[in-house]
Structure 1
């Protein structure tokens, strides 16, 4: 059986894609989602579990799922493969190999594209693992995504993901600042975004401003802007020794200070 833990904004459409693709997939979440294929009862989820997609929020929830509160290492005797899809510190992810039994295949498979790509089944996956493990996993991942980037051994996918998200965070911070300044200057938002799309300032957030669900949001600890702040922290945790982290920290602070746009 395939299970997906963490049926939130990203996990729920990913689970739907797996089920629509003909797999026998069920979900687990600590919050009741009101559907019969997502359970809050770990013992209705764990015993038959063979492949797990972990899409929980952060390291604390990952620890709870795998080792502590839900303890899949102790409650899922048939578990053979885990995909780590959450965006976490690469240092933490690499450390999982020592904590998870050797007979369980570990693949880091964080994804990019936001909720719109999850719903459209066009996610980009950044993958870490052996070539054989990635080849075996690709048909399943193809139900949810369109782009697959094998970055190297286990942990490499997460390293690439946090670097990608560091760029996404900088795009978010600067694009929002530009739009606020444009408001003050009396420029029309749609006209400026059209200009940016065909000019040197083109970036992901500006291009997807009307479709990315969090593009206009302000910061809250539990929303996508808050997750982006967390993702910058994951990148900082994996910064090279002696690296200048002033700019990433400023980007993080700017995102934390964002107010909602109408």
Structure 2
């Protein structure tokens, strides 16, 4: 398994493993999964800049006015109905529907600033294949993460970095961007919040050029998150270790599998 290049900020990655891509020919699809986000979606859509060519809204059978508000704010938006359930399923639905050269994913709760998209695109146009937002490098931060989630992320990150000989600083954060041509390579299957970890695992396994950019996570504007720290943490752990069948990692995977 081949590791990927890793940078710790916007200036650090510019000269590493470049494979220049001409920005004018790089179209961008923004995928946003939603379910009952009527009070948040307008704010998110209003912040989207001209860097984005296509917005794909994946509706998880909302029972409020989410879709109506979204279409009112952005008449050009593409609405795709999710057939399954879970964030991972919604994102995979959106990825399949996207037509841009690059796919960016953000949440619809207002916790991620669309203005940061340009930083992700900078690295994708400078030779990287998969770009992750990080709350834990210089310039990033979070005013939303709880102490329990922070501790869990730190543990899962340590497991991931050890398993893949990587140096990432954030794992459980869903602000990511990648070249759409790698969708088949990543062969995503996750249905829940573990989709973010699965994407990083598959990118590393495929030897994609991976880097991080600073991102500021803000509090959800309205409503409550569906994330469950312990339940979803276990699913992330299983995802990270699933393909490791030797040593300590293999024993952990076997133990977790036996609990199913």
The answer to whether TM tops 0.5 is no
Give the number of the structure with larger relative contact order, counting CA–CA contacts within 8 Å between residues 6 or more apart.
2
TM-score under structure 1 normalisation? 0.31
Give 1 or 2 for the bigger CA radius of gyration: 1
Structure with the bigger percentage of helix:
1
